[in-house]
Structure 1
Amino acid sequence: MRIALYGGSFNPPHVGHLLVVSYVLATAEVDEIWLMPSYRHPFGKELAPFVDRVEMCSRVAAVFRRGVAVSSVESEVPGEGRTVDTLEYLVERHPSCSFRLVIGSDILDDTPKWKAWDRVKELAPPLLIARGGHPHPEAQGPEMPAVSSTEVRGRLASGAGAEALVPKAVLEYVRARRLYGTGG
């Protein structure tokens, strides 16, 4: 089985993530795409609880009905939440699978900070997706919208509304759980 791994904070997942999933399913030679929320962020970002981010990703996956799964594997991998450790873990546990790592062109500048980036590329050759405002000659396809979880969290906290930026099922969950400054 050919699996595209799409990891990230998903804090919260937004329409940009949804469009990347759709694009990868439609164009890449993969059988499935797995959304993998970060259990802990290696660069110290503050995140909503893991269980909430997994549930929000499950709501994104449900939009597709098939071909998209959510993996909480990062909660099983010891260490600091480094991608290479997660990939080593997955390769060992799923020897019949081949993996590709979905990354946005906006994080390419950060890869020198990653642990064993060359090993990451060996274990799961990247599918580089163009992100608005971050052109790169190796990025595939059209630029995805420059929506950011930071922007979404700010809009939610200020009451400005994020209906156009967050899938409905995710927004309902955010409000019900009073995440990101929503609710009382």
Structure 2
Amino acid sequence: MKRIGILGGTFDPPHLGHLIIAEEVRLALELDEVWFIPTYTPPHKDSAKTGVDDRIRMTELAIETNPHFKINTIEIKRSGKSYTIDTMKELATLHPNHEFYFIIGADMVEYLPKWQDIDELVKLVPFVGVKRSGYELETEYDIFTVNIPLIDISSTEIRKRLQNNRSVNYLVPERVYAYIRGERLYGDKGSN
């Protein structure tokens, strides 16, 4: 039986914080793989800032050097808003011999009571909460917690930097940055 971590997100863009979270949880829980699952339309946001194809490509570039990281486009294929309960039910059906762990940041731990069908979901998949600056890992739900180096990077901050023609070196993998610049995403003018 494979032990698989699930890291969902908009990945708009994927950054080093995502990679650190995935690797630290993989090591702490002795997971075989971590699957990055980009959302089509996130249920808690209005929309992604870039298109699906760009976000998939950036995620592929971000994870390509780690053989334990995979991309799974289950939510992209479903299109529309995706809820974790639907994704986990489908993954459990498609991969009955896998044991899944759903990885979330502390900001999402606080938001758990608002998740779609959360009481059913926590019976279906164990949650793994990781620390994030400014948030506590406190919830009424039983979750694993993993301490990781506190790297306070957000996709929102990266997009703002790019819109203001500021460098994002060392915040995103080099190949992701090259892709952003080449495709002129997020208003990047390419002069950094």
TM (normalized to structure 1)?
0.92
Partner AA of 1:179 in structure 2: L
- SS of corresponding position for 2:43: coil
Q: Offset of 1:161 from its aligned partner?
A: 1.0
CA RMSD of aligned residues (A): 1.7
Distance 1:121 1:143, change over 3 A: farther
Partner of 1:50: 52
Partner of 1:139: 145
Partner of 1:63: 65
Q: Offset of 1:102 from its aligned partner?
A: 0.5
- SS of corresponding position for 1:63: coil
CA distance in structure 2 between the aligned counterparts of 1:172 and 1:181, rounded to whole angstroms: 14
Q: Offset of 1:131 from its aligned partner?
A: 1.3
- SS of corresponding position for 2:171: coil
CA distance in structure 2 between the aligned counterparts of 1:181 and 1:41, rounded to whole angstroms: 22
Distance 1:181 1:78, change over 3 A: closer
**Structure 2 residue runs without a partner (length 5+):** 139-143
CA distance in structure 2 between the aligned counterparts of 1:133 and 1:76, rounded to whole angstroms: 34
Partner of 1:3: 4
**Structure 1 residue runs without a partner (length 5+):** none
The runs of at least 4 consecutive aligned structure 1 residues that moved more than 4 Å come to none
TM (normalized to structure 2)?
0.88
- SS of corresponding position for 1:131: coil
Alpha-carbon displacement from aligned partner over 1:20-48 (angstroms, at most 9, x marks no partner): 12212222131100000111111233311
Identity %: 33
CA contact (8 A) 1:8 1:37 kept: yes
Partner of 2:186: 180
1:109 corresponds to 2:97? no
